[in-house]
Amino acid sequence: MISVTNLSYAYPGQPAIRFADFACRQGEHLLLLGESGSGKTTLLHLLGGLLRIQQGVINIDGTNLATLTERQLDAFRGKNFGFIFQKNHLVSALPVKKNLDLASYLAGKNADTNRSTELLGLLGMQAKAGAHVRTLSQGQAQRVAIARAVMNQPSIILADEPTSALDDKNCYRVIDLLLEVARQSNATLVIATHDHRLTSKISNHLRLAS
Amino acid sequence: MTLASLVWHYLKAKPLNTLLNIFLMGLGVAVITILLLLGNQLQEKITDNARGIDLVVGAKGSPLQLILCNIFHVDFPTGNIKLNEAERIAGHRMVKRVIPLALGDSYQNFRIVGTNAGYPELYEARLAQGQWWAKPLEAVVGATAASLTGLKIGDTFASAHGLGADGHAHEAAPYIVTGILQPSNTVMDNLILTGIESVWMVHDEGTSNTNAGSTRELSNPSSLVPSVAAGDSTKEITAMLMTYRNPIAAIQLPRYINSQSNLQAASPAFETARLFSILGVGVDVLTGFAYVLIFISTLSIFIALYNSLKERQYDLAIMRAMGASRTRLFLSVIMEGTTLTFAGSVLGLILGHLAVHSFTLVSAESRQTGFSALAFYPEEYVLLMASALIGLVCSLLPAFQAYRTDIHKVLANG
């Protein structure tokens, strides 16, 4: 599913960050552990095609990411990945359900209104379908962001520090939810985090040296 | 979910900004539309009404007044001219055709024009019902005049002196309506036509021994008013509308008339051009004002887009992460800008037409002008296209900004 070989990345004027080779099978989950500045986000963005590869190879489901043009990469992201960011970044101009529909529209699929309704129901958010994003609590916004990430039934869900700002109770609720939605769509979950509470939930770890 | 609905939601998220921008653009376009409608229709009316008239001859005074009074019937006469002097000019070899006019009275603000059959012929006016006047005090009423005064065939009415409704009423000699004209969209619509003899008769109240209108054959009738003898020194008319026999007349005839007699000749083409150059200054100021409004709205839309894109860079990055191509984001910003300017100019066109429409409703005078709010000109399509183009121009830079969003940087710093 995911295989990384000889990957390194250098920001302008800084020494290159080298990443250990690793591979991950379909449906397997992975934690990218490391302190701030260890390159977790960089690796996650390289995996998700948000950052172009400078050196090394990332192979996703048989596709070498480096060979894709910018436009192909956009389409590839929409088709294969679901993203969850630390701040949930919902599109504030759109109501809740439209935020989900936007994901399928941008991925080039027909706006599947059943899927978004179904997902909102699954997360206990159906009452908020037409609500303004700004009226949501942080927990609700996170659930919408998770729903959005799995909207197109991606094969890989990439999450960047999804739980670091949460207390224990919410932390476990979110990770359980993530594992549940990943299981339902048989997706691989890759979480970049320094939150050690997650290590008990996902056994597959990749520790990044700082 | 489509790009259009995304754009719509972004516009809706900032309703005040959106409304302000649309309204600013609308105001500018409305002013241009009003100027366009009035200007074009005025031009059409002037050319329609002055068609076939090369020269107007009347009493000395302002040449512009002579034109306004005798062709467009919006000003007062400069005075009267003697029939025998008029005959002398009318007989000039360079004159092809002459139409005499006798003005002075009105009915409910509609001018009564004493003339001959050549006058309605000039405008190709047709009768909608009834027949042309044959005897003195018989009158044919223009379409607008008939509908606004309610005059019907067989009705009688007393004329009032001057153009106002409160002039001295000539009740001793009432007119009778014998015909109603079809609308011709010319000055005919606002006139009440009758024979010259009628006008004389109304003003000769008391001095009854007029021979006007008598059926008695004259051995040497006047070329202008066949019912009186040629060379009559007591009768007067207001003006004559003339057509030249040849192009040389355009140079020689006005000079001849202006230098050799008590009369004055004015060219409609020249005087209306002069009128337009006087009005032109005001029109230019208004047009300039409209362009300033449009420029400000363009600037305002540009600033709004530019600023909102700064707030929206997370949205843009997220949308890229969800599979949106750079081109699609570029397009969405362009659509947002053009939607604003296009909606603004549609609003402007509607406002402009409404303004002209309410202008035609405010008073009887404005209704008489015959301006229509339902006239549409190709320039309006040009306005719509141009406004879309303006939207394109002012959203180009913000759209390029959206295109260039560095998703990694934005998302990593989030």
**What is the DSSP annotation of B386-406?**
HHHHHHHHHHHHHHHHHHH--
Tokens of B289: 């004002």
CA dihedral sign, ordered A21, A26, A28, A32? positive
Residue of B6, B320, B322 best to disrupt the A interface, most CBs of A under 10 A:
B322
Using the beta-carbon criterion (under 8 Å), do A87 and B325 form an inter-chain contact?
no
Name the 3-class secondary structure at A120. Answer: helix
- Residue B323 near residue A77, CB atoms below 8 Å: yes
Please determine, for residue A210, whether its predicted confidence score (pLDDT) is greater than 70. no
Quote the pLDDT of residue B46: 83
The region of weakest confidence among A90-99, A133-142, B59-68, B162-171 is B162-171
Are B318 and A83 a contacting pair at CB < 8 A? yes
Q: Any bridge partners for residue A4, and if so which?
A: A22, A58
**Phi, psi (degrees; rounded to nearest 5) at B144:** -65, -45
Round to whole Å and give the CA distance between B229 and B214: 12
pLDDT tens-place values along chain B, 414 residues long: 888 999 999 999 999 999 999 999 999 999 999 998 988 888 888 888 888 899 999 999 899 999 999 998 888 888 899 888 888 888 888 999 999 999 988 898 899 999 999 999 999 999 999 999 998 889 999 998 998 899 999 999 988 887 666 667 777 788 999 999 998 888 899 899 999 988 888 877 544 444 444 445 567 778 888 888 887 778 889 999 999 999 888 888 999 998 877 889 999 989 988 888 888 888 889 899 999 989 999 999 999 999 988 888 999 999 999 999 999 999 999 999 999 999 999 999 999 999 999 988 887 666 667 778 888 889 999 999 999 999 999 999 999 999 998 999 998 876
- Residue A81's alpha-carbon distances to A62, A150, B46, B99, in angstroms, are 15, 8, 70, 88
Say if residue A191 is exposed, middle or buried (CB neighbours under 10 Å; 0-12, 13-18, 19+). Answer: buried
pTM of the complete model: 0.78
Q: Which two tokens stand for residue A80?
A: 């294969």
Residue A186 has pLDDT above 60, yes or no: yes
Span A132-159, average pLDDT: 91
Q: Looking at residue B206, what is its pLDDT?
A: 47
Q: Which of B10, B408, B414 sits opposite A51 (nearest CB)?
A: B408
Please state, in angstroms and rounded to a whole number, the distance separating the CA atoms of residues B134 and B139: 9
d(CA B134, CA B340): 62
Q: What pLDDT is attached to residue B130?
A: 92
Q: Is A97 exposed, middle or buried (0-12, 13-18, 19+ CB in 10 A)?
A: buried
The residue of chain B nearest to residue A151, with distances taken between CA atoms, is B322
Q: What's the pLDDT score for residue B1?
A: 80
What's the gap in Å between the CA of B385 and the closest CA on chain A?
29
Chain A residues lying within 8 Å of B403, measured CB to CB: none
B408 interaction partners in chain A (CB closer than 8 Å): 45, 50-51
ipTM beyond 0.90? yes
Query: How many of the other CB atoms lie within 10 Å of CB of A20?
Result: 12
Listed in sequence order, the residues at least 6 apart from B95 whose beta carbon sits closer than 8 Å to its beta carbon are B89, B242, B243, B244, B245, B249, B253
What pLDDT is recorded for position A54?
93
CB contact under 8 A, A111 and B315: no
Beta strands in chain A (DSSP E): 2-9, 17-18, 22-24, 30-33, 55-60, 63-64, 81-84, 156-160, 188-193, 205-207
Cβ distance of A101 and B1 shorter than 8 Å:
yes
- Compute the distance between CA of residue B52 and CA of residue B241 in angstroms, rounded to an integer: 9
Whose tokens are 């260890």? That residue is A38
CB-based burial of residue A110 (10 Å sphere; 0-12 exposed, 13-18 middle, 19+ buried)? exposed
- What single string gives the DSSP state of each residue in B298-335? HHHHHHHHHHHHHHTHHHHHHHHHTT--HHHHHHHHHH
pLDDT at A167: 86
Question: What residue type is assigned to position A5 of the chain?
Answer: T
Supply the pLDDT for residue B167: 64
**Residue A89 pLDDT greater than 80, yes or no:** yes
